[in-house]
Amino acid sequence: MFFIDTLEFEGLGNHSYLAGGHRAAVVVDPPRDVDQVIALAARRGVRIAYVAETHVHNDYVTGGLELARLTGARYLVPAGAQVSFSRTPVADGDMSEVDEDLVLRAIATPGHTPHHTSYVLEEQGRAVAAFTGGSLLIGSVGRPDLVDPRLTEQLARAQHASVQRLAATLDDEVPVLPTHGFGSFCSSSQAEGDASTIGQERAGNDAFTLDVDAFVKQVLAGLENVPAYYTHMGPANAAGPAPVDLTPPEPADAAQIAERLAAGEWVVDLRNRVAFADGHVAGSFNFEGTGKLATYLAWLIPWGKPVTLLGDTPEQIADAQRELTRVGIDRPAAAATGDPATWVRQGEQLASFPRVGFADLAYALDRGEDVVVLDVRRESERANGFIEGSVHIPIHELHGRTGEVPEGTVWVHCAGGMRAAIAASLLDSTGRKVIAVDDGFETAADTGLRITRP
């Protein structure tokens, strides 16, 4: 009998997989922090015989090379991928025997990248799972614009052909196990669910229900902004990532925190947005440890800028450190935990700003207060409706555009509150008077706010 274990990385919207039999297993698209994969294999009592990459990833740093080195596994990488390290190149149709009666078969599925390869797990010649990487996703497909803008349409057409090939090759009941698509920006569109089959995708995925021209037009029209840090992920993976160091960072006291802020370094507070608004180190930024920490911090920070982490507990720091290594932020410069009052020097006070709901914003506008409404959602979100008169600067652009925010008290909102908290902290650090709207945008119209719908 075979098994398949899923490792979920909610912050990045990705999955990795450990699949095998009684004695040996393969790991598909492993994370940077490979210790958890090794521990999972140990609990299963299996040897990692193969590590398989579906493609050179653009959204996270892989742990594949290090995992293969530590375990002695063969490192399967698509033959068309341009990499600088020794690996076992995999071409369409190649078979790798994972365990007795258990084989991994490679299927070329270009589209997300030119060299993208899916893997089908076969037991006694019968397909039992398809690891589709960034090709066929749940309700969607991987975006085709991350390699070269000149190739985007060509890759979109290849993506359509690739998923058709998977459906023609595999039975309807075969589970579809993608790497991307669970909130990842590598997905061409966001879809619901975390489990599917070839048959379910054939019935409901636009890659099957639309002809190629209509599909390509829809995909190209729906592409979101690419996170800035993606620029660094592909080259890091092609070069061969170094091992990670997850030992605790150097502790920082109040004086060191102040020095790092004065030097222009980023001090990131991982606490929840309620605690941050109530009291924080002036100049620090709020990226909640339980939110999309790696995605948004890596997207906004100038690449290579030192980061000091502040958190409730050492465990919160450790979790954040682990997640940040997955996007190439390898070592925090320092860290501090405990009572936030100890993070400021004697005689200094913690900064704060209000948190409100959309009803409070409606009341302030009705009273004619000097209000600047700042919307930090993405373009696609704003296209579905926005508060009349609001200023729009997407969160990923705000750090470089704070000077464009009009004078007055800034009431900043997003769709649910997390990005508004980040934005409020960015503005607060510049000395602006700011109020964070911590509320769901779907409630805005019910408060009497005038919503413009294009």
Ramachandran assignment for 267, one of left (phi > 0), alpha (psi -120 to 50 degrees), beta (any other): beta
Alpha carbons within 13 angstroms on the beta-carbon side of residue 430 total: 17
Q: What is the mean pLDDT of the chain?
A: 96
What gap in Å lies between CA 134 and CA 14, rounded to an integer?
Answer: 10
Q: Which amino acid is at 397?
A: E
Going by pLDDT thresholds of 50, 70 and 90, the confidence category of residue 192 is low
61, pLDDT greater than 80: yes
Token readout for 158 is 């290849």
What gap in Å lies between CA 124 and CA 103, rounded to an integer?
Answer: 8
What gap in Å lies between CA 279 and CA 349, rounded to an integer?
Answer: 9
pLDDT for 191 equals 63
Tell me the residue length of the chain: 454
Residue-wise pLDDT tens digits, 92-120:
999 999 999 999 999 999 999 999 999 99
Going by pLDDT thresholds of 50, 70 and 90, the confidence category of residue 17 is very high
Q: Which residues face 18 on adjacent strands?
A: 5, 27
Token readout for 412 is 């900043």
Question: Angle at Cα 429 formed by Cα 423 and Cα 434, nearest 5°?
Answer: 55
**Local structure of 117: helix, strand or coil:** strand
Helix (H) or strand (E) holding 199: helix 198-204
**Local structure of 379: helix, strand or coil:** helix
pLDDT for 33 equals 97
Place of tokens 């993070």: 343
Does residue 438 contact residue 420 with C-beta atoms inside 8 Å? yes
pLDDT for 188 equals 74
Place of tokens 């922090």: 33
Residue-wise pLDDT tens digits, 363-419:
999 999 989 999 999 999 999 999 999 999 999 999 999 999 999 999 999 999 999
Q: What is the mean pLDDT of residues 9-18?
A: 94
Burial 60-78 (b: 16+ CB within 10 A, else e): bbbbbbbbbebbebbbbbb
What gap in Å lies between CA 67 and CA 51, rounded to an integer?
Answer: 7
Going by pLDDT thresholds of 50, 70 and 90, the confidence category of residue 183 is confident
Going by pLDDT thresholds of 50, 70 and 90, the confidence category of residue 137 is very high
pLDDT for 256 equals 98
What gap in Å lies between CA 269 and CA 250, rounded to an integer?
Answer: 16
Strand-by-strand arrangement of the 391-392 sheet:
355-356, 434-437, 409-413, 371-375, 391-392
Q: What is the pTM of this model?
A: 0.94
**Residue-by-residue DSSP string for 239-258:** H-PPPP--SPPPB--HHHHH
Q: What is the mean pLDDT of residues 308-332?
A: 97
Residue-wise pLDDT tens digits, 235-273:
999 999 999 999 999 999 999 999 999 999 999 999 999
Burial 375-403 (b: 16+ CB within 10 A, else e): bbbbeebbeeebbeebbbbbbbbbbeebe
Does residue 270 contact residue 343 with C-beta atoms inside 8 Å? no
Q: What are phi and psi of 250, to 5 degrees?
A: -60, 135
Going by pLDDT thresholds of 50, 70 and 90, the confidence category of residue 140 is very high
pLDDT for 275 equals 98
What gap in Å lies between CA 237 and CA 231, rounded to an integer?
Answer: 11
194, pLDDT greater than 90: no
